[in-house]
Amino acid sequence: MAKTQIQPKPISITIDNKRILCDEGESVLHCALRHGIDIPHFCYHEDLPVDAACRTCLVEIAPGKVVTSCDLKVKPDLKLSTQSKAVESLRRENLELMLASHKKICRDCKRGLPCKTWDLMKKFKVTGTKYERAVIKAPVHKLGTAAELDPQACINCNKCVEICQKLGVGFLKLTGKGATSHITYNEDPCVDCVYCGQCTVHCPVAAAREQSQIEPVDEVLKHKKGRIVIAQMAPSVRASIGEEFGLKPGSNMEGQMVTALKKLGFDYVFDVNMGADITTVVEATELVERIKENKHLPMFTSCCPGWVKYVEFYHPELIPHLTTSRSPQLHSGAAYKTWWAKKMKIDPKKIVVVSFMPCTSKKYEAHNKDLKVNGLMPVDFVLTTRETGKWLKKHKINLPKLKPQKLDYEGNYTGAAAIYGASGGVMESALRSAVFFLTGKELKKVEFEQVRGMKGIKTANIKVGGKTIKIAVVFMAKNAQIIIDELKKNPKAYHYVEVMTCPGGCIGGGGQPIPTTDKIVWERIQALYKIDASKKLRKAHLNPVVQDFFENYANKLPKAKRDELLMRGYKRKKKFE
């Protein structure tokens, strides 16, 4: 019997005399933004609950009837105005009221210009000084060495609270009543921040922001005093930094970044991707050992410092299950300060390594004194993608206009490293090498489609030789918790589990450009898979730079020294530690 498919009827509404097509059930604001009609909004994010709290997305739906468009569902033949006199005056007043409570530190703002809020203030002729703000007696709260919360700048939009809850952390909350309401944290001793910085990428006014390291980086480049300054960029940054300059998500800016960084005075531009190839080799080797010995399985990845903090604070019993492999930025940073320094006959103390990361918790990781190699921190400074955008603009560099250049040789990487930024990427890279380490045979088809995509939990059984390796790939602590609970019931459910804190993996990281949405993250991810597909070498262990590093340096070290360079330990963490 033939079934007739019932198509949902498209609805059309009229905004400012322009007819647009809407999907049933969507809000007027969502539809307008989709069609490029700009309605100002602060507390709306397409992946988070609608709060209708900022009251700036106003529209007039009947003479004198002004309502918010974020919680207004589209209806057939709805006619509305975003520019009527009533809308304009009420919107301006709400903007004045809201921005009165936002401490204006525009000149030193960590977000820098252009700022969406600043643009709106100019567009609607709002100064934010019509009213004087209420006194809030709450200091700036530091989230480790990663990010910070400024109650004086908070406009109570609630987005940071919601994303923190969505991740499964629940560290942030709004507190207080009336005009003294502001952002704060959960006092519960059993709840702590994992430094992922998702609050910072969801804050419309930089009340949640990274702890900036732009100034010290500028200082080093300005007064080198004989130091050799090395830049290394994470896989995800090249696919998103263009957004800071108005490019589409997923525009690969690797070559332009090399040029920009050289222009700004870096002596060498290498890549965290080279480190990722080291990580894959170390981690895949460990995985194969653990599987052979059937010890401490499943093995969890540990390249995400947010996830590491989650384990160290919430689940210290899982510490033996974390891979002992260090993370890519630590591997490459230390490789340049040891192997490369020796090769180049440079005093390692004179080397300064700056990482460009999509992440705020990488700042926290770089500050961890337990991770020194030969008494030196592998990475000296970390700038997020957002900071990088701001910093380039500060130096009047228009990134997309630059002529691309190649990375310096020791920054070369394989396709396996390129995909580290996407959820499933670490798993896929490790599998590409682990198959070779287990069977001695090279994989012909390197793609593992099962671990790709924006699903929070992905599982698969991979046949290798005669063995089946059971794997899980998850992002967000909430999903990790589901796997942890499953493992409590069935400890043999998986051999290998990849966990990233941020939605979609590092590419959706807390240091990425604003806005970051699931849709944008997915577009950025495409760029990473494209880079992978374009590479001749797509397996980490085939990277000649990495082979040189191991054969001519790391493998010749005494065991303790080799371990210091490649491995790490973990420890139970207290709140705020």
Partner 1 sequence: MTNSILEKIKKAGIIGRGGAGFPTAAKWEMVKKAEGSPKYVICNASEGEIGVFKDFYILDNYTEKVLKGMSLAMDYLGTKHAYININANYHKRLKHKIVPALKKFKAMGYDITIYEEDPSYIGGEETTILNAIEGKRITPRIRPPFPVEVGLFGKPTLLNNVETFYDVALVDEGKFEHKRFVSIGGKAKNQGVFHLPANVTLEQALKQTQNWPDFDFFVQVGGSASGMVLNKDQLKEHPLTGAGSIEIYPADTKPRDLLMKWFKFYSEESCGKCTPCREGSFHLYELLKKHKTIPWKEIMEIVETMEKTSFCALGRSIGVPVISYRKNVLHI
Q: Which residues bind partner 1 (CB under 8 A)?
A: 50-56, 58, 66, 68, 71, 86, 90, 93-94, 97-98, 100-101, 131-132, 134, 155-156, 173-174, 176-181
Residue 539 burial (CB count, 10 A): 23
CA angle 232, 234, 239 (to 5 degrees): 120
- The neighbour count for residue 27, using CB atoms within 10 Å, is 21
Shortest Cβ distance from residue 68 to partner 1 (Å)?
8
Q: How many CB atoms lie within 10 A of CB 24?
A: 12
Please say which residue, 98 or 474, places its beta carbon nearer to partner 1.
98
Nearest CB to partner 1, comparing residues 175 and 450: 175
What share of residues in the chain are helix, strand, coil (percent, to 5)? 40, 15, 45
Is 160 or 304 the residue whose CB approaches partner 1 more closely? 160
CB of 101 to partner 1, least distance (A): 6
In the complex, the smallest distance separating the C-beta of residue 85 from partner 1, rounded to whole angstroms, is 13
**Between 26 and 447, CB nearer to partner 1:** 26
Kindly tell me which of 134 and 533 has the beta carbon lying closer to partner 1.
134
Question: Which residue, 94 or 388, is less far from partner 1 as judged by CB?
Answer: 94
Cα–Cα nearest to 110, from 329, 361, 359, 394: 394
Q: How far apart are CA 517 and CA 503, in angstroms?
A: 9
Cβ 116 to partner 1, closest distance in Å? 16
The set of residues, in sequence order, having a beta carbon less than 8 Å from that of 169 and lying 6+ positions away, is 191, 193, 194, 196, 310, 477
Least distance from partner 1 to the Cβ atom of residue 182, Å: 9
Residue 354 identity (one-letter amino acid): V
Give the number of other CB atoms < 10 A from CB of residue 575.
15
Q: 177-184: which pairs have CB atoms within 8 A and are 24 or more residues apart?
A: 178/134, 179/101, 179/134, 180/134, 180/135, 180/136, 181/156, 182/136, 182/138, 182/151, 182/152, 182/154, 182/156, 183/149, 183/151, 183/154, 183/156, 183/207, 183/208, 184/138, 184/141, 184/149, 184/151
Nearest approach, Cβ of residue 168 and partner 1 (Å): 17
Amino acid in the structure at residue 17: N
CB 517 within 8 A of CB 508: no
Determine the Cα angle at 378 with ends 373 and 381, to 5°.
Answer: 150
Sequence-ordered strand ranges (E) for 117-181: 141-143, 147-149, 172-175
Compute the least distance from the CB of residue 64 to partner 1, in Å: 8
Smallest gap, in angstroms, from Cβ of residue 123 to partner 1? Answer: 18
- Please give the torsion angle defined by the CA atoms of residues 551, 557, 561 and 566, in that order, rounded to the nearest 10 degrees: 10
- Residue 13 sits at φ, ψ, to 5 deg, of -125, 165
Min CB(412)–partner 1 separation in Å: 51
424: left (phi over 0), alpha (psi -120 to 50) or beta: left
Considering the complex, state which of residue 183 and residue 426 has its C-beta at the smaller distance from partner 1: 183
Nearer to partner 1 by Cβ, of 66 and 472: the residue is: 66
Quote the least distance from Cβ 172 to partner 1, whole Å.
12
Q: How far is the CB of 495 from partner 1 (least distance, A)?
A: 38
CA distance 359 to 201: 10
Contact 321, 310 (CB under 8 A): no
Which CB sits closer to partner 1, 43 or 371? 43
Choose between 41 and 390: whose C-beta lies nearer to partner 1. Answer: 41
Between 86 and 460, name the residue whose CB sits nearer to partner 1.
86
Classified as helix, coil or strand, 318 is helix
